Structure formats: structure tokens, C-alpha cells
Amino acid sequence: MKHLTFILTAAWAVTAAVGAPTLAGTEPPVVGANLVNEPYKQTAAEQEATFRILQAAGVHVIRAGIPGNDQGLAFAQGAYAHGIKIEWLLGVYPDPGTPWPRLPDAYKSKGLWRGWPLSTANADAFKANIGAQLAELESKGVVLAGFELGNEINWTGFNADFPLPAQGRVLNEKDLASDPEGRKIAQGYLRYLQTLAALKDIRDHSMLNRRTPIISGGLADLDDSGKWLRSVKADAVSVDATLHFLQANGLDQLVDGYGLHFYPLAISPGSAQGQAALRAHLELNGLTQCAPPGAAKGKPCWVTEWNFNGLKGLDACPIDDSSRIAMVGEMRSVLHDLADQNRLGGSLYYTWQGQIHAPKEDHDSAFLCGALTESGRLAVAPNIADLMAGNLISDTHSEAIKQRPCDIYAAGNTPCIAAHSTVRSLYAKYTGALYQVKRASDDAAQDIGLLSDGYANAATQDAFCTNTTCVVTRIYDQSTKHNDLSISSGGRYKGPGPNGSDLGAAADALPVTAGGHQVYGVSISPGMGYRNNRTSDVAVNGKPEGMYMISSGTHFNSGCCFDYGNAEVSGTDTGAAHMDAVNVTEDLSWADCRNEPGLGVQADLENGLFHWNQRSCNPASNVSGGHPFISAWLKNNGQTTFALKWGNAQSGGLNTIYSGALPAGYAPMRQEGAIILGVGGDNSHASAGSFFEGVMTAGFPTDGADNAVQSNIVAVGYGAPTGLAGTLMPGSEISLQATTACCIGDYVRNLNGAVVIAPITPSSAEQDKSDATWIVRRGLADNSCVSFESRNNPGDFLRQQNLALHMQPFDGTASNRVDATFCPQAGKNQKGSSFHLVNDPTRYVRHYYGKVYVASDGDSTNPWSTPVHWSDDVSFIVGPPWSP
Ligand code: AHR
């Protein structure tokens, strides 16, 4: 039993199933997660992000309520459109006129009686309402994974037939027959069975859901000592007594599975003793009642909620996931045995994600700190047979990784000679490190390796960089050529780093999701760049080659040169055809491009970004459209021809920009074989952009291979940072609303680089809304605080300079990091949040006469530190973004 936060209303229900469940129950068990925190109340964009992340994690079934209104219908349709079926959590309908049970005052904070008294359950009302609602869902083609009636009906929490005040009793079968309290509960159980019969009738006469299983409401497990019930002064009926009573009164004729909830206590996770205790807890709470389909007595069990009590390490970011990983392994080992015996219908982890707008995350979530945790990934992994305890990692590894881009190119005889990514392995068999980070606190370096499914283990970075900052110092080449990229040491143009070198990208500036994991991309601001001037087997002097990079369609500028590919080994401009790099930028170099500027994909062949073989603008190279992830492609046979393509890295195929002759003066090519990222051949470093992965091949790849790689990229499920909005969690998109009485319609916004508060309303211009939208990033100078990146000027951050706030590009310097890092705390006027400078806890972000500053309370050195209205002026409501 868990102290759950959701309210079971008459219109609630939950279920889940993968594939087409059969009533005979011979399908493999359904595996999925709860999504019970009113997810249908999220915006359409938030729901879309949630569904996409669920999809990427392989979740095909969620347990959720579906309210009988447009919101509920849209939510169910949206899930179904993403291949996600809902195990519908339904509640009973009460007799007309029944008042919602009012909690005695002493229980107000305890959240009990969140369900109608079952003795008022009215089967006719249920039939009329749910029958109509199911018909509407079916008219939209929605097939469900299951119907689950009621939630934890065996204790005070969700069944108001239990009296309050209570003593913490656990009633047994005899009590249900003879004890006054027990008899009242038994009456309710009988009314519950009548509603179950109505549900069966609805299901049996439905159009699309006749084979959808009915599951009895998940019963609350009781803690083994009874201490918890006594402490909250609530009563319960044991799981076995409840099931025996219901069976004796016809349960098995009405349902296809028994719903059970398991929250065992974490006792020495990972030990034999812990595993034995966990199994004993489950057996005490219903496990022995689970039977194969068709058994004389009993039904397969649906564990419609499971998680653990007493786990530590999950309340702060980064989490310590080790105990939960061990417990998930133990739990899934028991479930695996049950499945082997054909006694398991489904397993639905509690929970996928708490309220996404809640100020604090629900530590039971699979998705925590902006990412799917490893324990969460294992808890919801679809194939239970692959997840037996003891070989969780190795068994999933082979399943998850099949083919990666460099396997595809190798099969086409154009093998990779360079493969760089901070996100994922680019070969199925690559097991080495992806990149290296260095932290500011002690200059120590750390390699970031892979999770079992070939995605970056970003948690290693988070742990290593806690309370300090890290930059990416090296991106390893995954090919056998060891063409690693390091921070560029400079060239014709010196960088702002030591001895004219460039700067490294902040390691946590670009959190995104890929493969269902939170990982980091490389966010390049002017002054940053990577290079290798001493490579092996990169094309030189007219040899053929191909390359692609995954970049961003929203984070770019027009500075020279956001390149990935082949460049001069000297870091200087040695003339036409000495470079062959794919370039993503707003190219203003050709006069006719300046009429309609926008992001484009070009070939940097030196002394020219070529859109085709002319020194002019090719409209086809324009890829503006705001795709957050794009793939940019260049291949060159080195003698006569080259081709440029681009794709949306989240969906669809490739678009050809140009395929034909090389420009005059560039045939044959004279490549030199250095590799660059984020700079030009001569180390021009004025560009901004994002990099997630890129490869270079030996030989001119076929279009078929490129297309297969594009599909492989799309399958990654590159996603927006977290899909979060309105919270201070990294990746969340937000608005910051003033709370001073004068200005409650005002929001913090960028106004041509200055930062002000100004009114924004739903009818404001898109540009204004976008200027008032910010993306929360981990603090650039201290990752326990936050930084705010501009929504419409990616790479620009809120920062203080001379105590006034500005929006400026992140330049990677230590002072810029500090000036752009703010530490949140509760609003000084009890509303929203206040943010102090990371290096000065007395100075808070404050608005004053329309402009935004940092101010201390009553410091007389400047007018904006006046104590008048100080606590109101420094308090801001973190709300949903104006421009998601
Ligand atoms: O070709 C465009 C740029 O021009 C190259 O990257 C750089 O080397 C030169 O400045």
C-alpha cells in the first residue's frame, strides 16, 4: 500500500495490454506504467512529448483514467495514435444524491476516503455513463488494453465504507461475515460486484473491445507489521480475505484478471535476504491467488501498481539509482516466474511520472531529473523474459542494439573512418567511451560511456559534475581510426581560450532525449570548436568521401562556420577545394540569399559555402522550418561531383538539395584530411550550433545507405529536452510572471537584448510570446542552480552585468557562467520563486520600473535595491511557456 496522490472519481479507470489480449489469456503479459496524475490535463504539446518519450522507451500500455469529456477523448486518441493502449481505470458511480464523503477534520491532511462508499455503487448509473463513453471512444477507433474497476477498495483510502476514525485494524474473512464494520464493507463489495457485472455487459456488447480483459480493482498490499495503518488510523481488509469474499460471490465469472498492488519494503536491495523478504511480502498480499487462465479457481494477476517503500537516494538530482535498480531486478524476477507459470496478466510500474507541473518530482517516477532512469527503463522494458534477475543488462543489450549508422555504411562498402557522438554508439558493437568531460573544481577528467542499449550514460556525467561545471574536452572517434576530436588549438584565427585555443562546450548545456534516455548534445557558441589535424585514413587529394551530422534547426547563427568534416591540417585557409565539410548556418555570403535568410545546409569547400556549383543562392538549401533536430549530408566523389541533402531527424526521409558537378575551381578536390567541428577551416569561430552525432566515410556512400541511416536516426526518437513545461527542472520551458500588484500581467522578456517585464497575453504577437519564454538549464556555474536560455535565441542566456539583466550568448568563460547562474528558492512574498545570484546570496533577480536587475534588499548603492516592494519584486511565478 502506498500513500497515493490521485483521486479516484466516478469517471476513472485504468488498464494496459500489449498486442491484442485474448480472454483465454495466452498472450505474454502486458508490461507498462501508470500515468495516473491527470495527464489529460496537460497541454496537447506536453501530451505529445510524453507519448513520444513513452514510445521511445517501448511502453505500449499505460494505466490511466479517462474522463468522460473532450479532454479524456483527446487523451485516449492521442495515446492510441502513438501505439499506446490505455488500461482504463474506472470508478463506480454512486446512487443519485449520494454526497461526496466528507473527511473528519482530523484526517484532512491524510488524504483518505478518495472513493465513493462502495455500498452506494449504482450499476445502472455506471452502465449508462460508461456505456456511452466507451461507444464514443470506439467511434474514434480506440481499443483499450483493459478495464480495471476500482482502486484499492480494500482500505479506507479509496472506499468510504470504512469508518473514520479508525484504529488500524486489518479485517479478515470472518469479520466480513460477523463484525459490524466488516458487514458494511461486505455489503459494499456486493454492490461492487454488481457494477462489475454491468462492466462485463458493456464490454461483451462493445464493438472493438470484446476481447479487452476486465480486471478487478488493484488491491492495496498491507505492510507486514500493520504499523502504517495504525499510524494513519485507517482500517483495511486483507487482500486474501477480499479476494475470497469476492470469489465466493461470483468474481471469477466477471473478470479475466485480479488487480494487485505491490509496494514491498526495500530490505538490503540486491541480497538474497532482500529477495526472500520481497517474495514473502508478495505472497502475503495476493500472489498465491494468481492462477493460469481457465483454472478451476483464481485468475491471472495483473500487478497494476508496483514500486517500493523505503528507498533512498531518489529525492535529489542526480539520483542514486543503484538500490532501485536492484529492487526492480528482484521484483521482475518474481514476475518472471509468475509469467512462466502463466499466472501473470500484466505488470504496470507505479509510476511513469508524477504531476509534471508539481514543484517537486514524485520520487516513485520512472522518469526523474528530466530523464528516464535506468531502474525505470528496466521496470517498463517490454520483454519480461529478457529481464530475469542477474542478467538484466546483458540480456537487454543484444535486444536493444541491432544496427547503427556505421554498420549500415560498412555493409555498403563505404566504412566510417570517423564516428563522433555524445548521444549514442554509432556501431552496434561499440562499447568504448563516447566523450570526455573535464570539471572546473579540480581539473579531473572523466570518460562518459554507454548504457547497455548503446546510449550515453549521462548519469556518470551528472554525478561527476555535481556542484561544479564541466566542459566537453574530447569526442572519441568510435571507428578503429581513433580520429578523436579535441578542443581546437586555434589556427589562422585564435580562439578565446589559453594560448589562442578555442573553448570547450559546456557539458550540460544541451540536455535532450534520445532512445528514451536523457543525454547531452554539444552546444557550440562563438569561440568554441573541436579539431583533429593528425588523422588516419580521412580522404585527401580528391579521394571520395561522405558525411552527415545531426544538428539543430533552431540553434544557429550566421557566423562562420558551423562545419563538420574535412579541413586543412594547418588551421589556415590554403585555398579552394582544400576543405570538404558539411555546414549548417544562415548563410548570408551570397547576396541573393540575403533576401530570404534562413537556416541552410551547405558544403564548405573553402572560400565558399556552396549550395550547388554556383556562387549564388540555391533555394533548396534552405531548411528553415524550426525542426529542433535536422540531419545534414554531404558527399563528394573528389573528382567531379558532390551532393547535398537534409532531413528532419525526427521523421521522414531525405531531401536532395543538389547533386551534380563540383563548382569551377573545385574539381578535383584537394582535401587535407583534418576533421573540424563547429569552426571553419582557418579556425573561424563565430558560429553557433548544436551537434549530436556525425560520421565520415571512406568512399562515396550510396543513396540507399544514406536513406537507411536516416531511418536509423529517426528511430532514435531524438526529442526535445524533456517535454517538461512550467517547472524549474532542466529542460522545462517556462514563463516568469511578476507578482507585484502593479504588474501581475507582466512577464520577464527579452527586448532586443535588454531584459524587461512587459504584459503578455494569449493574443500577443508570436514574437513577443517567444521573447517571454525561457528554457531552464542546469546552472552554467553550479548545476544545483539554474540558468535560463532564450527560447527564440538558442545559445543566449539571461545574465547579469553591472547588476542589470541582459540576454547574451553563452561564451564559455567562467565569469559568464557565474553571471548566468541563479539559485531558486521559495518566493520572498510567499508566491512563486525568487532567484539569487550563484555567487551572491543577497542579490536577487528583481524588476524595477519595468527593467530587470539583480538587487539586494535595501542596499542604498543603487535605486533598484530599494526595500520598497522588494519581496514582491523579487518573486516570480514559474508558469507554462508562452511559446512552447
Ligand atoms: O569557406 C568558408 C570559410 O572561409 C572556411 O571555413 C574558412 O577557412 C575560410 O575563412
Cβ-defined contacts of 848-852 (< 8 Å, 24+): 848/873, 850/756, 850/757, 850/758, 851/754, 851/755, 851/756, 851/757, 851/804, 851/805, 852/748, 852/755, 852/756, 852/757, 852/804, 852/805
For the cut 50, the answer to whether the pLDDT of residue 5 exceeds it is no
Name the residue type at position 183. R
Look-up: residue for cell 511578476?
738
Mean pLDDT of all residues in 26-33: 81
State the Cα torsion 283-327-729-43 to the nearest 10°: -40
For the cut 50, the answer to whether the pLDDT of residue 18 exceeds it is no
Q: Where in 19-77 does DSSP place strands (E)?
A: 30-34, 61-64
Question: Ligand 1: does its nearest atom lie under 6 Å from the Cβ of 159?
Answer: no
State the Cα torsion 140-144-147-152 to the nearest 10°: -110
390 dihedral zone (left: phi>0; alpha: psi -120 to 50; beta): left
For the cut 50, the answer to whether the pLDDT of residue 558 exceeds it is yes
pLDDT at 586: 92
Question: Ligand 1: does its nearest atom lie under 6 Å from the Cβ of 561?
Answer: yes
What is the Cα–Cα distance from 785 to 819, expressed in whole angstroms? 12
- Spacing, Cα 609 to ligand 1 middle (Å): 8
> Catalytic: which of 606, 768, 819, 873?
606
Determine the atom of ligand 1 nearest the C-alpha atom of 605.
Answer: 1
For the stretch 383-423, pLDDT in tens is 644 443 333 333 333 334 578 999 999 999 999 999 999 99
Count other Cβ atoms within 10 Å, centred on residue 239: 23
Q: What is the SS3 string spanning 279-307?
A: HHHHHHCCHHHECCCCCCCCECEEEEEEC
For the stretch 169-180, pLDDT in tens is 999 999 999 999
pLDDT at 721: 53
pTM: 0.57
Question: Ligand 1: does its nearest atom lie under 6 Å from the Cβ of 607?
Answer: yes
Mean pLDDT of all residues in 564-569: 98
User: For residue 366, what pLDDT band results from cuts at 50, 70 and 90?
Assistant: very high
For the stretch 780-817, pLDDT in tens is 888 778 899 998 887 889 999 999 999 998 887 889 99
Q: What is the SS3 string spanning 192-256?
A: HHHHHHHHHHHHHCCCCCCCCCEEEEEECCCCCCCHHHHHHCCCEECHHHHHHHHHHCCHHHHCC
> Catalytic: which of 161, 364, 508, 682?
682
- Spacing, Cα 575 to ligand 1 middle (Å): 9
Is residue 606 flagged as an active site residue?
yes
For the cut 70, the answer to whether the pLDDT of residue 3 exceeds it is no
Does 29 or 758 have the greater pLDDT score?
758
User: How much is the CA Rg of the chain, to the nearest whole Å?
Assistant: 30
- Spacing, Cα 686 to ligand 1 middle (Å): 11
Q: How far is CA 494 from CA 368, 490, 528, 557, 813, in A?
A: 41, 5, 11, 20, 15
User: For residue 344, what pLDDT band results from cuts at 50, 70 and 90?
Assistant: very high
Residue owning the nearest CA to atom 4 of ligand 1: 607
Average pLDDT, the chain: 89
Q: How far is CA 211 from CA 27, 28, 198, 246, 793, in A?
A: 12, 15, 16, 23, 51
User: For residue 875, what pLDDT band results from cuts at 50, 70 and 90?
Assistant: very high
pLDDT at 149: 98
What is the Cα–Cα distance from 700 to 697, expressed in whole angstroms? 7
Q: How many whole angstroms from its chain centre is CA 772? A: 23
What is the Cα–Cα distance from 865 to 844, expressed in whole angstroms? 10
The β-bridge partners of 518 are 513
Containing 446, the helix (H) or strand (E) segment is strand 445-448
Does 649 or 13 have the greater pLDDT score?
649
- Residue 563: which of 602, 525, 527 has the closest Cα? 602
For the stretch 445-503, pLDDT in tens is 999 999 888 999 988 898 888 878 899 999 999 999 999 999 999 999 999 999 999 99
- Spacing, Cα 577 to ligand 1 middle (Å): 11
Question: Ligand 1: does its nearest atom lie under 6 Å from the Cβ of 130?
Answer: no
Residue owning the nearest CA to atom 6 of ligand 1: 680
Determine the atom of ligand 1 nearest the C-alpha atom of 606.
Answer: 1
pLDDT at 6: 41
For the cut 80, the answer to whether the pLDDT of residue 23 exceeds it is no
For the stretch 693-710, pLDDT in tens is 999 999 999 999 999 899
Of 569, 580, 586, 606, which is best to mutate to test ligand 1, by the most ligand atoms within 8 angstroms of its C-beta?
Answer: 606
DSSP structural state of residue 665: T
Question: Ligand 1: does its nearest atom lie under 6 Å from the Cβ of 680?
Answer: yes
Q: What percent of the chain has pLDDT over 90?
A: 66
For the cut 80, the answer to whether the pLDDT of residue 301 exceeds it is yes
Three cell numbers written together for 653: 526521409
User: For residue 723, what pLDDT band results from cuts at 50, 70 and 90?
Assistant: low
- Residue 825: which of 817, 836, 816 has the closest Cα? 836
Determine the atom of ligand 1 nearest the C-alpha atom of 589.
Answer: 2
For the cut 90, the answer to whether the pLDDT of residue 4 exceeds it is no
Query: By the 8 A CB rule, do 417 and 536 touch?
Result: yes
Is residue 682 flagged as an active site residue?
yes
Q: Dump the DSSP string for 850-883.
A: TEEEEE-TT-TTSGGG-STTHHHHT-EEEE--S-
Q: What are phi and psi of 124, to 5 degrees?
A: -65, -45
- Spacing, Cα 416 to ligand 1 middle (Å): 25
- Residue 546: which of 616, 641, 478 has the closest Cα? 641
pLDDT at 495: 94
For the cut 70, the answer to whether the pLDDT of residue 873 exceeds it is yes
Question: Ligand 1: does its nearest atom lie under 6 Å from the Cβ of 560?
Answer: yes
Mean pLDDT of all residues in 255-265: 97
What is the Cα–Cα distance from 138 to 121, expressed in whole angstroms? 25
DSSP structural state of residue 504: P
pLDDT at 383: 61
For the cut 70, the answer to whether the pLDDT of residue 7 exceeds it is no
Of 607, 610, 685, which is best to mutate to test ligand 1, by the most ligand atoms within 8 angstroms of its C-beta?
Answer: 607
DSSP structural state of residue 790: E
Determine the atom of ligand 1 nearest the C-alpha atom of 607.
Answer: 1
Question: Ligand 1: does its nearest atom lie under 6 Å from the Cβ of 568?
Answer: no
Of 634, 677, 682, which is best to mutate to test ligand 1, by the most ligand atoms within 8 angstroms of its C-beta?
Answer: 682
Mean pLDDT of all residues in 370-375: 83
For the cut 60, the answer to whether the pLDDT of residue 330 exceeds it is yes
Q: How far is CA 365 from CA 65, 308, 359, 493, in A?
A: 18, 11, 14, 49
- Residue 688: which of 554, 788, 785, 842 has the closest Cα? 554
Question: Ligand 1: does its nearest atom lie under 6 Å from the Cβ of 300?
Answer: no
Mean pLDDT of all residues in 40-45: 87
pLDDT at 396: 34
Does 724 or 588 have the greater pLDDT score?
588
